[in-house]
Structure 1
Amino acid sequence: MSDWTWDYNTDDHAHVTGGLPPGVIAEVERIATELAALGRDAETVGRPTGRSGGLREFDILGGRGFISFLAVPRHECIYVCRVTWCE
């Protein structure tokens, strides 16, 4: 189990999740919790493939959207930077 946490990459999480349906927000937070449980391994999850680190993208809800996140080892934190949702 990891000691990592997750947070939105802004003090105002409405900047990232504003206007999204509650179910989408719940799914984003569930995935962020799972990414935090991966710890350092979250640096290789999602796109781009073939390299680790940097801004990563991960599909949500069967490809109806995606989250962009950073895995920052020195902070032991996953930062959710953006949520793109296609209704």
Structure 2
Amino acid sequence: MAISRSDLVAALADKADTSKTDADKVLSAFSDILIDAVNKGEKVSIPGIIAVERVKRAARTGRNPSTGETINIPAGFGVKVSAGSRLKAAAK
């Protein structure tokens, strides 16, 4: 079961003892900061919880699954998300 944005906003508002409107603003601001940092190539880390960073992908050859034809895949960027120790422990 996934937690929706509205569920997350409600839980954040409850935990922080604030309004849902303010919690939504904080979540939106956090999202914007995270996206801007990744766009700049900066690593964002919340110790023990999560780390997010942009990683470079080298150019490579691949195969079209429909036709089996070899294709060239250009170099680019991806996003690496790593779980912190507290998050890993919670998954046990």
Task: Quickly name the TM-score band, shorter chain normalised.
Answer: 0.3 to 0.5
**Structure with the larger RCO, 1 or 2 (CA within 8 Å, 6+ apart):** 1
Looking at secondary structure, tell me which structure has more helix per residue.
2
Q: TM-score, normalised by structure 2?
A: 0.35
Larger Rg: 2
